[in-house]
Amino acid sequence: MCDHKNGSETCRDNGYCYDGNIQIGPCPACNTLVYLQAAKAAAESTGYYESETDNGTGVELWEKAVKFARKANPTQFNSILTSIGRVNALYVNDPSTSSDELLVKTFVYGEEKSRDEINKLKESWFRDACWDIEDTEGFSLYYDELLAFRKQCEQEWEAEYAMRKAKEEASLHAELEKIGTIGLLRQIKWLEERLDQALERIHKLESQSK
Protein backbone atom coordinates (compact mmCIF):
# COMPACT_ATOMS: atom_id res chain seq x y z
CA MET A 1 0.00 0.00 0.00
CA CYS A 2 1.33 3.42 -0.98
CA ASP A 3 1.00 6.16 1.64
CA HIS A 4 2.53 8.97 -0.43
CA LYS A 5 1.11 12.40 0.33
CA ASN A 6 2.10 15.88 -0.82
CA GLY A 7 -0.05 18.66 0.58
CA SER A 8 -3.62 17.92 -0.43
CA GLU A 9 -2.50 15.35 -3.00
CA THR A 10 -2.59 11.67 -1.99
CA CYS A 11 -1.96 8.38 -3.74
CA ARG A 12 -4.98 6.10 -3.94
CA ASP A 13 -2.79 3.02 -4.22
CA ASN A 14 -3.50 2.72 -7.96
CA GLY A 15 -0.28 4.42 -9.03
CA TYR A 16 -1.83 7.89 -9.34
CA CYS A 17 -2.21 10.90 -7.06
CA TYR A 18 -5.49 12.74 -6.55
CA ASP A 19 -6.50 16.08 -5.12
CA GLY A 20 -9.99 15.30 -3.96
CA ASN A 21 -11.60 13.57 -6.94
CA ILE A 22 -9.25 15.15 -9.47
CA GLN A 23 -6.44 12.96 -10.78
CA ILE A 24 -3.16 14.92 -10.68
CA GLY A 25 -0.75 12.46 -12.28
CA PRO A 26 1.48 9.43 -11.67
CA CYS A 27 2.63 8.86 -8.09
CA PRO A 28 6.37 9.56 -7.69
CA ALA A 29 6.61 6.97 -4.91
CA CYS A 30 4.90 3.85 -6.28
CA ASN A 31 4.75 4.73 -9.99
CA THR A 32 8.13 6.42 -10.27
CA LEU A 33 9.01 5.34 -13.80
CA VAL A 34 5.75 6.65 -15.28
CA TYR A 35 6.10 9.83 -13.18
CA LEU A 36 9.58 10.49 -14.61
CA GLN A 37 8.51 9.57 -18.14
CA ALA A 38 5.70 12.13 -17.91
CA ALA A 39 8.12 14.75 -16.56
CA LYS A 40 10.56 13.92 -19.38
CA ALA A 41 7.85 14.40 -22.02
CA ALA A 42 6.86 17.73 -20.48
CA ALA A 43 10.46 18.96 -20.16
CA GLU A 44 11.23 18.08 -23.78
CA SER A 45 8.22 19.97 -25.10
CA THR A 46 8.17 23.02 -22.81
CA GLY A 47 10.62 25.93 -23.05
CA TYR A 48 8.80 27.81 -20.33
CA TYR A 49 5.65 27.09 -18.32
CA GLU A 50 3.57 29.15 -15.93
CA SER A 51 0.73 28.10 -13.65
CA GLU A 52 -1.10 29.44 -10.61
CA THR A 53 1.42 27.85 -8.23
CA ASP A 54 4.63 27.46 -10.21
CA ASN A 55 6.67 28.56 -13.22
CA GLY A 56 9.96 27.74 -14.86
CA THR A 57 11.72 26.25 -17.85
CA GLY A 58 11.62 22.68 -19.06
CA VAL A 59 15.05 22.20 -17.49
CA GLU A 60 13.78 23.38 -14.11
CA LEU A 61 10.68 21.21 -14.46
CA TRP A 62 12.84 18.14 -15.03
CA GLU A 63 15.27 18.93 -12.19
CA LYS A 64 12.39 19.41 -9.76
CA ALA A 65 10.81 16.12 -10.84
CA VAL A 66 14.10 14.26 -10.33
CA LYS A 67 14.56 15.62 -6.80
CA PHE A 68 10.94 14.91 -5.91
CA ALA A 69 11.08 11.34 -7.21
CA ARG A 70 14.38 10.68 -5.45
CA LYS A 71 12.87 11.77 -2.14
CA ALA A 72 9.65 9.81 -2.71
CA ASN A 73 11.32 6.54 -3.77
CA PRO A 74 14.98 6.55 -2.67
CA THR A 75 15.37 2.75 -2.75
CA GLN A 76 14.55 2.20 -6.42
CA PHE A 77 15.27 5.67 -7.74
CA ASN A 78 18.75 5.14 -9.23
CA SER A 79 17.79 2.07 -11.24
CA ILE A 80 14.63 3.78 -12.51
CA LEU A 81 16.47 6.96 -13.47
CA THR A 82 19.06 4.90 -15.32
CA SER A 83 16.29 3.40 -17.46
CA ILE A 84 15.27 6.92 -18.53
CA GLY A 85 18.60 7.27 -20.32
CA ARG A 86 18.69 10.69 -21.97
CA VAL A 87 16.53 13.78 -21.46
CA ASN A 88 16.70 16.77 -23.84
CA ALA A 89 15.06 19.43 -21.69
CA LEU A 90 14.12 22.77 -23.23
CA TYR A 91 14.66 26.25 -21.81
CA VAL A 92 14.71 29.90 -22.82
CA ASN A 93 17.17 32.56 -21.68
CA ASP A 94 14.54 35.25 -21.22
CA PRO A 95 11.00 34.00 -20.45
CA SER A 96 9.62 37.56 -20.77
CA THR A 97 10.41 37.47 -24.50
CA SER A 98 7.91 35.26 -26.29
CA SER A 99 10.11 35.04 -29.38
CA ASP A 100 13.18 33.89 -27.44
CA GLU A 101 14.96 30.92 -29.03
CA LEU A 102 14.39 27.49 -27.51
CA LEU A 103 17.60 25.96 -26.18
CA VAL A 104 18.34 22.40 -25.09
CA LYS A 105 20.11 21.01 -22.06
CA THR A 106 20.81 17.30 -22.23
CA PHE A 107 20.82 15.05 -19.18
CA VAL A 108 22.36 11.59 -19.58
CA TYR A 109 21.77 8.89 -16.99
CA GLY A 110 23.22 5.43 -16.55
CA GLU A 111 26.77 6.18 -17.68
CA GLU A 112 29.30 4.64 -15.32
CA LYS A 113 32.26 6.73 -14.20
CA SER A 114 35.74 5.51 -13.37
CA ARG A 115 37.02 5.74 -9.81
CA ASP A 116 39.53 8.31 -11.04
CA GLU A 117 36.71 10.52 -12.41
CA ILE A 118 34.81 10.28 -9.13
CA ASN A 119 37.89 11.13 -7.07
CA LYS A 120 38.69 14.11 -9.31
CA LEU A 121 35.14 15.38 -8.84
CA LYS A 122 35.51 15.07 -5.06
CA GLU A 123 38.85 16.91 -5.13
CA SER A 124 37.39 19.72 -7.26
CA TRP A 125 34.38 20.08 -4.98
CA PHE A 126 36.55 19.99 -1.85
CA ARG A 127 38.53 22.99 -3.13
CA ASP A 128 35.36 24.99 -3.85
CA ALA A 129 32.29 23.46 -2.23
CA CYS A 130 29.81 25.88 -3.77
CA TRP A 131 27.27 23.29 -4.96
CA ASP A 132 25.72 20.04 -3.75
CA ILE A 133 28.16 17.50 -5.17
CA GLU A 134 25.54 14.72 -5.24
CA ASP A 135 23.58 16.72 -7.84
CA THR A 136 26.52 16.95 -10.25
CA GLU A 137 25.33 16.28 -13.78
CA GLY A 138 26.43 12.91 -15.15
CA PHE A 139 27.06 11.36 -11.72
CA SER A 140 23.52 10.31 -10.80
CA LEU A 141 24.59 6.68 -10.31
CA TYR A 142 26.84 7.83 -7.47
CA TYR A 143 24.33 10.05 -5.68
CA ASP A 144 24.43 8.15 -2.36
CA GLU A 145 28.23 8.02 -2.27
CA LEU A 146 28.59 11.71 -3.11
CA LEU A 147 25.91 12.74 -0.62
CA ALA A 148 27.68 10.78 2.14
CA PHE A 149 30.98 12.39 1.14
CA ARG A 150 29.49 15.90 1.34
CA LYS A 151 27.94 15.29 4.75
CA GLN A 152 31.18 13.83 6.10
CA CYS A 153 33.18 16.84 4.88
CA GLU A 154 30.66 19.29 6.32
CA GLN A 155 30.76 17.53 9.70
CA GLU A 156 34.57 17.66 9.72
CA TRP A 157 34.57 21.35 8.76
CA GLU A 158 32.05 22.15 11.49
CA ALA A 159 34.17 20.28 14.05
CA GLU A 160 37.31 22.13 12.92
CA TYR A 161 35.49 25.47 13.12
CA ALA A 162 34.19 24.69 16.62
CA MET A 163 37.68 23.69 17.76
CA ARG A 164 39.20 26.86 16.27
CA LYS A 165 36.57 29.05 17.95
CA ALA A 166 37.17 27.29 21.28
CA LYS A 167 40.91 27.99 21.00
CA GLU A 168 40.25 31.64 20.15
CA GLU A 169 37.93 31.98 23.16
CA ALA A 170 40.50 30.35 25.47
CA SER A 171 43.21 32.67 24.12
CA LEU A 172 41.02 35.73 24.72
CA HIS A 173 40.25 34.66 28.28
CA ALA A 174 43.94 34.06 28.95
CA GLU A 175 44.85 37.48 27.54
CA LEU A 176 42.14 39.14 29.62
CA GLU A 177 43.43 37.49 32.79
CA LYS A 178 46.94 38.59 31.88
CA ILE A 179 46.22 42.28 31.33
CA GLY A 180 43.42 42.56 33.88
CA THR A 181 40.41 44.83 33.84
CA ILE A 182 42.44 48.05 34.09
CA GLY A 183 44.61 47.00 31.16
CA LEU A 184 41.51 46.21 29.08
CA LEU A 185 40.02 49.61 29.84
CA ARG A 186 43.27 51.30 28.82
CA GLN A 187 43.21 49.46 25.45
CA ILE A 188 39.61 50.50 24.88
CA LYS A 189 40.49 54.10 25.73
CA TRP A 190 43.42 54.00 23.31
CA LEU A 191 41.20 52.66 20.51
CA GLU A 192 38.62 55.36 21.16
CA GLU A 193 41.32 58.04 20.87
CA ARG A 194 42.57 56.54 17.60
CA LEU A 195 39.01 56.49 16.27
CA ASP A 196 38.48 60.13 17.25
CA GLN A 197 41.71 61.10 15.47
CA ALA A 198 40.65 59.25 12.32
CA LEU A 199 37.22 60.92 12.31
CA GLU A 200 38.84 64.31 12.77
CA ARG A 201 41.09 63.73 9.74
CA ILE A 202 38.10 62.65 7.68
CA HIS A 203 36.20 65.83 8.59
CA LYS A 204 39.20 67.97 7.62
CA LEU A 205 39.52 66.22 4.26
CA GLU A 206 35.79 66.65 3.60
CA SER A 207 35.92 70.38 4.43
CA GLN A 208 38.98 70.87 2.17
CA SER A 209 37.23 69.20 -0.78
CA LYS A 210 34.24 71.56 -0.60
User: Over 70: is that where the pLDDT of 200 sits?
Assistant: yes
CA-based nearest residue to 143, from 205, 90, 47, 78: 78
pLDDT at 175: 80
Average pLDDT on 55-70 reads 94
Confidence of residue 202 (pLDDT cuts 50, 70, 90): confident
pLDDT at 206: 80
pLDDT tens by residue, 66-112: 999 999 999 999 899 999 989 999 999 877 765 568 899 999 888 88
pLDDT at 99: 59
pLDDT tens by residue, 129-145: 999 999 898 898 898 89
pLDDT tens by residue, 4-57: 999 999 998 899 999 999 999 999 999 999 999 999 999 999 999 888 888 999
- C-alpha distances in angstroms, 70 versus 10, 11, 67, 173, 205? 17, 17, 5, 49, 62
pLDDT at 174: 85
Q: Are 87 and 137 in contact (CB under 8 A)?
A: no
CA-based nearest residue to 121, from 134, 103, 108, 107: 134
Query: What is the spatial order of strands in the sheet that 5-6 belongs to?
Result: 5-6, 9-11, 16-19, 22-26
Q: Are 69 and 35 in contact (CB under 8 A)?
A: yes
